[in-house]
Amino acid sequence: MRPFDYIDGSLSAGQVPLADIAAEVGTPAYVYSADAIEAAYREFETVLAPARICYAMKANGNLAVLRLLAGLGAGADVVSEGELRRALAAGIAPEKIVFSGVGKTDAEIEAALRDGILQINVESVPEVRSLSRIAAGLGRTASVAVRINPDVDAGTLDQISTGRKTDKFGVAWTEAPALFREAAGLPGLSMDGIAVHIGSQLGDLEPYRRAFRRVAELVRTLRADGARIRRLDLGGGFGIRYRDEIPLPLAGYARVVQEEVGGLGCEIVVEPGRRLVGPAGLLLASVVAVKETPARRFVIVDAGMNDLVRPMMYGAWHDILPLDAPPAGADYRPADVVGPVCETTDKFADRRLLPPLEAGDLIAFCEAGAYGAVMSSTYNGRPLVPEVLVRGNGFDVVRARPTFEESLALERLPDWLSGPGGQG
């Protein structure tokens, strides 16, 4: 069974009607299927064994989702101290955590070293020098992988391509040998690996092959220079279906890995994010009104760009389904699906063919488990969206919707604004 399907005419998560969740939690709300997340993880575990799976938690950092993955044996790929703290709080062992990112602060590096994580992926010469200084000062030895930029175009959206020479990420692969030679003379460093990540939402295996071929060439060069390379972090980017894409075939990916780097004798790390949680989540919303104008039909919903920004940021497509299955022969008509945020760009879909809808109807934005709640904000004074985790025939609220009072309590007025007139 798919994570979300119609049962007796009602869109459901497993055996749980989504309308029941909306009635208890309200809308907008994110809903995740624990069973779907587990099934996706098991596929990676089976197809890519014995690779180490470090979940790229920037896709979805909910603590319950992290605890679920930790229980399955996953590690984590983190890109900030905040994510590191979340991973540890969720029960992911520090020796299963990789710290990536182009702009780590000294405080973040120190935190990672004190916690004894598996590996720090460095992305520049200045970062290598900073890491050496901090590690030596703490009396620690950092296990380091150098993230290379292989100058490979992933063929995906410009905003989520990361492996071209014009992108901010990584060290040019041709310059990595010089970096390794410098690092060999610095204290506090164990230069153990190479890391690479060329982009997100890939559907084609060929860019991976080109990138991994350069990784293999570099490993051989470095070993000839005397470097000990024992770990390859191959990143993620595994594409899913949003509209008509064909999800990246994991068996094909495993074959490319084996053919290009399998003979190097290195431990392999992969960092799936979107593929584990994207299809396993959706965003519930209620129709506030349907407005007909001479030019357009607007379906106005209570979710906004602050809740799900992907359509506005990337022009991303999310299937939109009514929670009540449309009857056979329903009159599908074009409509703009828009939110309440005071921005013209607050639009989820343009001229989307939808069945008749009216105020009070419930809809779902599909494939929203990745880069949804984690990118949400309180713009326009709107509370953060609650998150719900479904397992079997039950569900739990794993992040409550803050009250307005709770949101206001985070802020403080200075003394000089505390008087009755607002001025001291």
| Residues 292 and 236 grouped into a single domain | no
| Residues 243 and 285 grouped into a single domain | no
| pLDDT of 215 over the 60 cut | yes
| pLDDT of 77 over the 90 cut | yes
Q: Is residue 424 part of a domain?
A: no
| pLDDT of 161 over the 50 cut | no
Rounded Cα–Cα distance for residues 257 and 55 (Å): 18
Rounded to the nearest 5 degrees, what angle is found at the Cα of 30, between the Cα atoms of 199 and 56? 30
Q: Which residue has the higher pLDDT, 151 or 258?
A: 258
| Residues 191 and 300 grouped into a single domain | no
pLDDT of residue 259: 98
Q: Which residue has the higher pLDDT, 166 or 9?
A: 9
* Distances, alpha carbon 399 to alpha carbons 72, 93, 202, 234, 386, in Å: 21, 23, 30, 32, 5
Does residue 28 have a cis peptide bond before it, meaning omega lies within 30 degrees of 0? yes
Rounded Cα–Cα distance for residues 207 and 283 (Å): 32
Give the mean pLDDT of 231-245: 96
Do strands 29-33 and 281-292 pair parallel, antiparallel, or not at all (unpaired)? antiparallel
Tell me the pLDDT tens digit for each residue of 10-36: 999 999 999 999 999 999 999 999 999
Give the mean pLDDT of 92-115: 97
Give the mean pLDDT of 197-220: 93
The tally of domains found in the chain comes to 2
Tell me the CATH number at 336.
2.40.37.10
Rounded Cα–Cα distance for residues 339 and 395 (Å): 27
| Residues 236 and 297 grouped into a single domain | no
| Residues 324 and 371 grouped into a single domain | yes
Give the mean pLDDT of 139-155: 85
| Residues 256 and 386 grouped into a single domain | no
Please name every residue paired with 52 in a beta bridge, in sequence order, or none if there are none: 269
| Residues 257 and 121 grouped into a single domain | yes
Q: Which of 270, 297, 325 is the last residue of a domain?
A: 270
Q: Is residue 66 part of a domain?
A: no
Tell me the CATH number at 212.
3.20.20.10
Neighbours of 343 (CB within 10 A): 15
Return phi, psi of residue 92, to 5°: -80, 125
Rounded Cα–Cα distance for residues 368 and 57 (Å): 15
In 3D space, the residue among 385, 371, 243, 238 whose CA is nearest the CA of residue 318 turns out to be 243
| Residues 122 and 162 grouped into a single domain | yes
pLDDT of residue 152: 74
Annotated catalytic residue: which of 54, 266, 342, 366? 342
- Predicted TM-score of the model (pTM): 0.94
| Residues 257 and 285 grouped into a single domain | no
pLDDT of residue 149: 87
Give the mean pLDDT of 147-175: 66
Q: Which residue has the higher pLDDT, 419 or 364?
A: 364
pLDDT of residue 2: 79
- Parent domain of 24: 4-30+278-408
Half-sphere exposure of 173 (CA within 13 A, CB side): 24
pLDDT of residue 113: 98
Active site residue 342: yes
Q: Which of 237, 270, 303 is the last residue of a domain?
A: 270
Neighbours of 407 (CB within 10 A): 14
| Residues 252 and 341 grouped into a single domain | no
Helix, strand and coil content of the chain, in percent to the nearest 5, comes to: 30, 25, 40
Half-sphere exposure of 358 (CA within 13 A, CB side): 0
* Distances, alpha carbon 333 to alpha carbons 292, 328, 338, 352, 355, in Å: 12, 15, 15, 8, 6
| Residues 266 and 328 grouped into a single domain | no
In 3D space, the residue among 68, 99, 1, 21 whose CA is nearest the CA of residue 276 turns out to be 68
